[in-house]
Structure 1
Amino acid sequence: METLLAERLLCAPGRHIRYTVICLRPAVGPLADRLRAAGLAVVDLSGGPRALLYARLARTVRALRPDVVNLHSPIPAVALRLTIGLRRPRPVLLSTVHSTRYRRPTMLLDRLTRRLDDHTVAVSPQVARSATVHGARAVSTRVHGVDLAAQRAFAAGAAAVRAEHGITASDFLVVHVANFRAQKNHRHLIRAAARVTAANPAVRFLLAGSGPLQPAVAADLALHRLGDRVRILGPVPRAGRLIAAADLLVLASHYEGLPVVVMEALAAGVPVVSTAVGGIPDLVRDGHNGLLVPPGSPAALAAAILAAAEPRTHRRLREGAARSAGDVDIARTAEWFEELYARHA
């Protein structure tokens, strides 16, 4: 959520809009630094007493006297609706909804106050269909996307990235970028990789990410004796650069929202093989810019990867991915939001 917002604001035309970003969590520090470096105002509320956080948030917003408040998280949204939204005059309240589910108490509070918003934006068709927007006065759907120009630049330098990792021109590179957590289903990915590399020795897998299950995944790799055909890279800065160097992005997740990595792949013209979960089918069209399989089947995932590696199929899927790049251009989304702000302000 925070990354998508920061990338959108960094692309915003800002011709007649002055942005102030209020940060509530210390983890977003690096993103806040990028926004400050780009000349945006940032207010950091993460350092004070947690018990007074939302009172300080309300005071800060009142002091800023904004024309529009764009909310991005349900509990801060509830706090501001009740403290700012009930006053007159008040700023326009817009909520951007990034998730298809919250915890039950959060969902209840959010729903009880949601009609105080003037407009709601869902970040994917899947979110627009979910209970997290039920009761909203007006809902628009807008996929945020990624920095299209950056991904295309990364794609132009793909050969150098491949060389860094010992991937040759004759290798078919499959990249998986995801934290090592149960949701991402690395175990089925490893089983699928074992089938794929046995059938096509030219396929190589690079796994990027970090998380508590990384040692277990490493042990699973050793058990399957996959050698250097499947390698764990750990956390990779600027993962979009690695994705743009791939022949294929793969995801084996049990569930998802709308992963940024899928948008980065399509922006770079890289096709996707994924489980058909969450919002992924809203972007990955089976047989056009990727292949979709049911979750929980290593055999189906392996068959799809092998099919995507077949030269004629891969060429067709890559062309489809390149044609899909405009669907995930965050610069277009930045312009769209500025038009939305102007329409309501």
Structure 2
Amino acid sequence: MTAQIVPVKVVQVLGTLDRGGVETIALRQCRDIPPEHVRQVFVTLGTHEGMLAPEFRAAGAEVVRCPVRPKWTFPMRLWHLLRRIRPDVVESHVSLTSGLVLAVASAARVKVRIARLRSEGDGRGDAPLRRLQRRLLRELMCNSATSVLGVTRAALTFAGPPPHDYRYQVVPNQVDVERFASARRAVRDRCAGPVMTHIGRASPEKNRGFLLGVHTEARRLRPDVRLTVVGPGGIEDLAAVAPRVASDPSVRLLGPTDRVEEVLAATDVLLLPSHREGLPNVVLEALAAGVPVLAADLPGLRELSEQVHGLYLLSLRAGAAAWANTALTLAGTPESERDRISEGIRRSPFALSADDRWWRTVWTAHR
């Protein structure tokens, strides 16, 4: 008689379940991991659940809110929630605040406590009080986490790892190469003018306003060039730079989408002028689709550029004209080189394997 499998109960802590790289990865995992093996609960700390909450529930997950505010009651409210759920694992995705989350999880007697670091910073300045807060959160993380996983060395460095601490490791994001490569083969059309694309939410660190300067300079060289901007959060950041951007026929503003592969299939070059990043999933997706990427010269992206083909870095200080000239050059990348870019991702540690069962060792190691 076969013994019944008791599913591992995993609580994942995020800000909100809005569309973004972390949330997209979490939703994919939620759909792919058999519910009879893992029961997933997503705890959101923001002011709302997020637009993807219904999709997480449809995938079999539970979604629970535990807002950070009011801050002084947050640790006790989270403790009561964890004692009610009684998870085997808590995995936190909220930067250094994961130190506080995992300290509460430790107090609630959760066995496996994982911090996931996705970015090389938090973009919150460097005032003395902020430095003290970061120091305290790093101490909490060090004292309470059973694993601290960064998507890049730069992201892991932000966690302040002690020397030779085996708990601190680099675990990169992965991408379904076939999904993006097959979409490019199916719908690629190079008869029209070059298409520059940006995919990312409307937030200050994404620096989307810079794209409009690049587009203006690119049109001086190629009047038929087009700019596509995809992502949630509205267009206020773009309209602040170019008030008539919504009526510009050479600019497409698509908003959020869950069909990124179709956008990339019609893209010649991806632009990423961010002020801060970790290991952006959209870069891996673009490279899997054979789309060259022009990105800001940031530590995490520098690491990635040493391991893949097709990622080119340029300082933002080089200016919009230099970005436009480089972007148009990359837009002319021949198909043979695009195939090489895609194949490079397929053969890299960033390719998602259908047989990947990493969660068995990460989430069930205590059993």
Describe the SS at the equivalent of 1:213.
helix
Larger RCO (alpha carbons 8 Å, 6+ apart):
1
User: Which residue identity does 1:91 align to in structure 2?
Assistant: K
Q: How far apart are 1:137 and its partner, in Å? A: 5.3
Question: Cα distance, 1:57 vs. partner?
Answer: 1.6
Q: Of residues 119, 123, 128 in structure 2, which corresponds to 1:99?
A: 119
The amino acid that maps onto 2:212 is: I
Task: Write the distance in 2 (CA, Å) between the matches of 1:206 and 1:244.
Answer: 12
2:331 equivalent in structure 1: 309
- Report how far residue 193 of structure 1 moved: 2.8
* CA contact 2:113–2:146 (8 Å) conserved in 1: yes
Give the 3-state SS of the residue equivalent to 1:140 in structure 2.
strand
Task: Assess if the C-alpha contact under 8 Å between 2:97 and 2:137 holds in 1.
Answer: no
Q: Aligned residue for 2:217?
A: 195
* 1:84 CA displacement: 3.9
Quote the residue 1:216 is aligned against: 240
Are residue 10 (structure 1) and residue 37 (structure 2) matched? no
Deviates more, 1:95-104 or 1:109-118: 95-104
Residues 109-139 of structure 1, C-alpha deviations (whole Å, 9 max, x = no match):
22221232111111223212x2324236511
Task: Give SS of 1:101's match.
Answer: coil
Q: CA deviation at 1:64?
A: 2.6
- Corresponding residue to 1:58 among 79, 91, 114: 79
- Greater share of helix: 1
- Residue identity opposite 1:142 in structure 2: V
**Counterpart position of 1:141:** 170
Return the letter of the residue paired with 2:337: R
Residue 143 (structure 1) shift: 1.8
Matched residue, 2:316:
295
Correspondent of 1:32 among 37, 46, 53: 53
Change (3 A) 1:195 1:218: closer
Report the CA distance shift for 1:39/1:286 in structure 2 as closer, same or farther (over 3 A): closer
1:180 offset after TM fit, Å?
Answer: 4.7
**Is this contact kept in 1: 2:99–2:137, CA < 8 A?**
yes
Point out where structure 2 has 5 or more consecutive residues left out of the alignment. Answer: 1-21, 123-129
The residue aligned with 1:281 is 302
Q: Within 1, Cα distance between the matches of 2:62 and 2:361?
A: 21
CA distance in 2, matches of 1:344, 1:153: 39
Partner of 1:324: 345
- Paired position in structure 1 for 2:148: 120
Compared with structure 1, are the counterparts of its residues 294 and 340 closer, same or farther at alpha carbon in structure 2 (3 Å cutoff)? same
Deviation at 1:46, TM superposition (A): 4.5
> CA offset at residue 304 of structure 1?
1.6
| Aligned counterparts of 2:207 and 2:105: Cα–Cα separation in 1 | 42
> Matched residue of 1:343: which SS?
coil
- Is the alpha carbon distance of 1:83 and 1:193 closer, same or farther for their aligned partners in structure 2, counting shifts above 3 Å? closer
Q: Is the 8 A contact 2:215 2:227 kept in 1?
A: yes
1:80 CA displacement: 4.3
Deviation of 1:49 (Å): 6.5
How far 1:59 moved relative to its partner? 1.5
Is the contact between residue 102 and residue 114 of structure 2 (CA under 8 Å) also seen in structure 1? Answer: no
| Segment of structure 1 superposing worse, 98-107 or 244-253 | 98-107
Aligned CA-pair RMSD: 3.5
Q: In the aligned structure 2, how far is the partner of 1:70 from the partner of 1:284?
A: 28
Identical pairs, percent: 24
1:169-199 CA-to-partner distances (Å, cap 9, x unmatched) read 3322221223455544445433333333333
1:336 aligns with 2:364: no
Q: Deviations over 1:57-110 (max 9, x none)?
A: 2122123332222222257634444444257x6512221122322443441222
Verify: 1:207 aligned to 2:234, yes or no.
no
Q: CA offset at residue 334 of structure 1?
A: 6.5
1:249, distance to aligned residue in structure 2 (A): 0.9
Please give the secondary structure, in 2, of the residue aligned with 1:340: helix
- Indicate conservation of the 8 Å contact 2:151/2:278, yes or no: no
Question: Structure 1 254/49 Cα, relative in aligned 2: closer, same or farther at 3 Å?
Answer: closer
CA contact (8 A) 1:181 1:211 kept: no
Going from structure 1 to structure 2, the CA distance change for 1:264 and 1:124 (only over 3 Å counts) comes to: same
What amino acid maps onto 1:231 in structure 2? V
Q: Do the aligned residues in 1 keep the contact of 2:205 with 2:275 (CA within 8 Å)? A: yes
Q: 1:173 aligns with which of 187, 195, 206?
A: 195
Q: CA deviation at 1:246?
A: 0.9
1:253 is aligned, of 274, 281, 295, to 274
Distance, in Å, in 2 between the alignment partners of 1:11 and 1:49 is: 35
Shift of 1:54: 2.9
